A and B are shown apart, each in its own frame.
Chain A
């Protein structure tokens, strides 16, 4: 990472400094304005320069039609006549430009219809149009591609917002003047400092030392004032917040965004369809596979599910990336997302020109790119339960492309940040197969309908070696190469262990309060689901239409209710429409009629429901969880005896799950009641939980292995979080040992 701690704190300071001037902040983040500790005059000079170069460009490119028309008189009509086929002829360029203009206009006319009052005004359209045309003529390799205008529009919007902020401040101070000092919100001298600031012109933004004590003016206000001052360096051209030069500023922002300021992420890449030199894939496709790769690291079961269904990442990621999530969030939310994205450094993490070919996924090669990918993964995880509940590619895609509007943005971003480290680690951890077996290339997904095809033993071995990178690498390789090996073993080993099952369910359900362990539950469930698939009972795959012939009659009230709900949902989806984002429960696969061993999908479902409010994990909770585990000191005890006390293992797990000794009934009923209770507490539409334990036939040691496996996975995730306390790390270490033991049982 290039930024030293000193720079970092300066950055933070800057963040504070311009937090209410998003346009200025973005200009700094995008590398147009100098960053830390630059004086206002510096800012003004750079601002003026960037405006000059835009003006020059505009003069050169947009007006040369007229110039060359004049010149053409001298060049003869052979080359330059309207029927000339030569694209370089004056008329050729003229027609090309006319076509371009038409295309741009057509798209601009449907830009942000919901914010039409701003974006559809003639002035705004004109600015957008000129910027786009200019950029496209400047970079003929790209030309105009749909979506570019949606990258540009928010940039102009934040510049406008800054100006509005400025006029707001002006007004406030004007009022103060006209109120003739009878306002109470400012002390008497404030206006003096304002005046003196205006007068001094070349003052920097710092508060004057002699004024600081008795006439304190909010530095933010001072900044705004100094940014609107015509009397600094470069005069009017240097006014940082200038309506007159908004177009110039927007262009330089757009240009920097598209070209990435020599960093890893250049948005223009997402519009290119010429294959990148390294592996022959268009960059956006490559970024899409990077996204899936990251997903496979973070949530293998979800990844596998999507791949099995044939949901290729570029089907949705093309849009996510091309307009940088512009379609997935409302404009105000989008600005926050872009704040986060731009705030991160775009410098390449590794790979100077000579070893760049080693970088497998270019998008992961900067903090900014890693965050973009992580955010995409975080978004997929946000939809986790509803995606897992869908057995149809198109339905999955409908969900992914109709991201819920009421999303908890903070959590989404937080989750993305927690994934970021994995993303940057992932960049070189990928073996070659991704290219040949990547979702893009493979007509059919490489991983076929057998679910977890990774080999447990090798996974565990790798994990036990405590080398995270090779662990994931191994997993990736296994995923790509092995398909059925484990499954054969699994189906042979299916046994009935009713006792153990009911206890485990109890444990798991309770545990699932914690996001980490929730995954454990999911994984177990999932693996069993896969067993079912393997055993050849799989029915139709389309949204479980056969729900109603479910041989397992709904016993609990909850479950029958759910049946009804589900029915409704199903109808709804079928009737329409482009936007089907109904709650998690829709199309619940768990309801599918399940010939035994059928617990699987039912249990699977219930765990999903428990997890449904927000699959985005919650770090504090995890920490809490870990601490509790540690405090109760239940780790070492079982560690010592586990091998000899197999019979007691569920008891121990019970404790581990922090539920306290509620007794270990051998029957499944208590579990049911607990589960229902839990669901109520969480106000989640309770699903088939009652069914969950009705058929406790399939339990086997593989579940333990899976549990161990999932545990390991989740430990890895936690370990990737930065700034873990020593205690936490210690606890994680213990957890690792436990999972190893588990896998051996």
Chain B
């Protein structure tokens, strides 16, 4: 299937905050109460549409445990967007955000769009982090913020799609040099009219051809 752009996402955050469940809800529209823990990294993909353009998201769902971090930092390479997830019922997962953010800033490219997600919003009765705190943290660090629930699917679509929207806007504004793959964006063959697609060196590595 053709697409105008391909974005690479990475999902990060403490273990057990629901990263894999968010991904599963987004790609398969289902919820799995007990999800295998992720060892290393797992992958998902889905097409979305923004501004009438088909966009493919390739999502790297990473392991949360500290012990993986030194090994898995290369996962950030070439990511256009990141979902930084915490669990609103576990305070410590919120407290660790700063270190995750530092990791991301250090290993990802500077223009990576980061979406902060407070997951498990369905468990409001066990809430340990208020919405305002989340908003505040996001504001201070220039992130987009949303509370979501992988269980009820609330805001899951939105989280992924808004992130893509922001990236898309950055492209339109010329923030990215889309021919440079290190930004995590690839130009596809679909929606983009000839010249811009043709010019793009990065899209012509293999296989078919643009026209």
**Chain B residues, CB < 8 A from A107:** 15, 37
CB neighbours (8 Å) of A736 from chain B are: none
The answer to whether residues A574 and B67 also contact, given A538-B204, A544-B208 and a CB cut-off of 8 A, is no
Contact A577 B37 (CB under 8 A): no
CB distance from A526 to the nearest CB of B (A): 12
Give the chain B neighbours of A542 by CB distance below 8 A: 3, 6, 56, 186, 188-189, 203, 207
Which residues from chain A contact B68 at a C-beta distance below 8 Å? 146, 318
A515 at the binding interface (Cβ < 8 Å): no
State the Cβ distance, A397 to closest chain B Cβ, in Å: 5
Q: A147-B39, A315-B40 are in contact. Are A546 and B205 (CB under 8 A)?
A: no
Residues on A with beta carbons closer than 8 Å to the beta carbon of B45: 394-395, 398, 573-574, 576-577, 580
Within 8 Å of chain B (Cβ to Cβ): is A78? no
B23 and A578 within 8 A (CB):
yes
Residue B71, interface by CB 8 Å: yes
Residue pair B43, A394 in contact (C-beta under 8 Å): yes
Residue of B nearest to A578 (CB): B44
Q: Is A146 a contact partner of B15 (Cβ separation < 8 A)?
A: yes
Query: Using Cβ atoms and an 8 Å threshold, which residues of chain B touch A103?
Result: 15
Contact B207 A544 (CB under 8 A): yes
- The yes or no answer to B172 lying at the interface (CB within 8 A) is no
Which residue of chain A has the shortest Cβ distance to B44 in the bound complex? A578
B130 → chain A closest CB, angstroms: 23
Judge if A424 is at the interface, Cβ distance under 8 Å: no
- A68 and B61 alpha carbons, distance in the complex (Å): 42
* Interface flag for B34 (CB, 8 Å): yes
Interface residues on chain B, number (Cβ under 8 Å)? 52
Q: Does B65 contact A (CB under 8 A)?
A: yes
Chain B 68-84 interface mask (CB, 8 Å, partner A; 1/0): 10111011010000000
Given that A545-B3, A578-B28 are contacting pairs, would A146 and B208 also be in contact in the complex, using a CB cutoff of 8 Å? no
Asked if A323 and B39 sit within 8 Å, CB to CB, the answer is yes
Chain B residues with CB under 8 Å of A449's CB are 205-206
Q: Distance in Å from the Cβ of B91 to the closest Cβ of chain A?
A: 13
Q: Are A312 and B71 within 8 A (Cβ)? A: no
A570 in contact with B188 (CB, 8 Å):
no
- Encode A370-408 as 1/0 by CB contact (under 8 A) with B: 000000000000000000000110110110010000000
Which among A110, A401, A546, A573 has the greatest number of chain B C-beta atoms within 10 A?
A546
Contact B206 A533 (CB under 8 A): yes
Which among B2, B37, B67 is the interface contact of A273 at CB below 8 angstroms? B67
Q: Do A322 and B35 form a contact, CB below 8 Å, given A540-B189, A542-B186, A545-B1? A: no
Question: Which of A217-225, A232-240, A242-250, A587-595 binds B?
Answer: A587-595
Does B154 make an interface contact (CB < 8 A)?
Answer: no
Alpha-carbon gap, A541 to B186, bound state (A): 9
Cα A639 to Cα B120 in complex, Å, equals 73
With A542-B188, A574-B1 as known contacts, state yes or no: A113 contacts B70, CB within 8 Å: no
Q: Give bound CA distance, A314 to B73, whole Å.
A: 11
- Determine whether the beta carbon of B71 is less than 8 Å from that of A146: no
Nearest CB of B to A474, in Å: 27
**CA A541 to CA B3, docked complex, whole Å:** 12
Q: Mark B149-163, 1 if CB is under 8 A from A, else 0.
A: 000000000000000
Q: Are A146 and B63 in contact (CB under 8 A)?
A: yes
| Interface of chain B residues 154 through 211 with chain A (CB within 8 A) | 186-190, 203-211
A539 touches B204 (CB 8 A): yes
Q: Which residue of A lies closest to B209 (CB)?
A: A539
Interfacial chain B residues near A327, Cβ < 8 Å = 36, 39
Asked whether, in the complex, the Cβ of A577 is within 8 Å of the Cβ of B44, the reply is: yes
Q: Determine whether the beta carbon of A146 is less than 8 Å from that of B39.
A: yes
Give the residue of B37, B43, B207 whose beta carbon is less than 8 angstroms from that of A538: B207
Q: In whole angstroms, how far apart are the Cα atoms of A538 and B187 in the complex?
A: 14
Q: Does B46 contact A (CB under 8 A)?
A: yes
Instruction: Give complex CA distance A578, B19 in Å.
Output: 13
Q: Which residue of B lies closest to A441 (CB)?
A: B74
Beta-carbon contacts under 8 Å, A146-198 to B: 146-147, 150
Contact of B41 among A106, A315, A539, A589 (CB under 8 A): A315
* B40-A541 in contact (CB<8A): no
| Complex CA–CA separation, A394 to B41 (angstroms) | 11
A658 within 8 A of partner (CB): no
A439 vs chain B, min Cβ distance (A): 10
Q: Within the assembled complex, what's the spacing in Å between the Cα atoms of A440 and B27?
A: 29
List CB contacts (< 8 Å) of A506-563 with chain B.
Answer: 533, 537-547, 549
B203 touching A106 by the CB < 8 A rule? no
Query: Chain A residues near B207 (CB, 8 Å)?
Result: 391, 538-544, 589, 592, 601
**B40, A592: Cβ atoms closer than 8 Å:** no
Cα-based distance from A145 to B39 in the complex (angstroms): 10
Would you call A279 an interface residue if the criterion is a C-beta within 8 Å of the partner chain's C-beta atoms?
no
Residues of A within 8 A of B189 (CB): 539-540, 542, 545-546
| A577 CA to B42 CA, complexed, in Å | 11
Which 10 interchain pairs have the tightest Cβ spacing? A539-B209, A592-B208, A539-B208, A541-B206, A318-B40, A546-B208, A541-B205, A145-B67, A545-B2, A319-B39
Interface residues in chain B, defined as those with a beta carbon under 8 Å from any beta carbon in chain A: 1-3, 6, 8, 15-16, 23-24, 27-28, 34-37, 39-47, 56, 58, 60-61, 63, 65, 67-68, 70-72, 74-75, 77, 186-190, 203-211
**13 residue pairs from A and B, CB less than 8 Å apart:** A146-B67, A397-B43, A398-B43, A398-B45, A401-B43, A540-B204, A542-B207, A574-B45, A574-B47, A576-B28, A577-B45, A578-B23, A593-B208
Known A-B contacts: A113-B36, A594-B209. Give 10 more (CB < 8 A): A110-B37, A146-B39, A146-B68, A318-B72, A539-B207, A540-B186, A540-B206, A542-B189, A576-B45, A592-B208
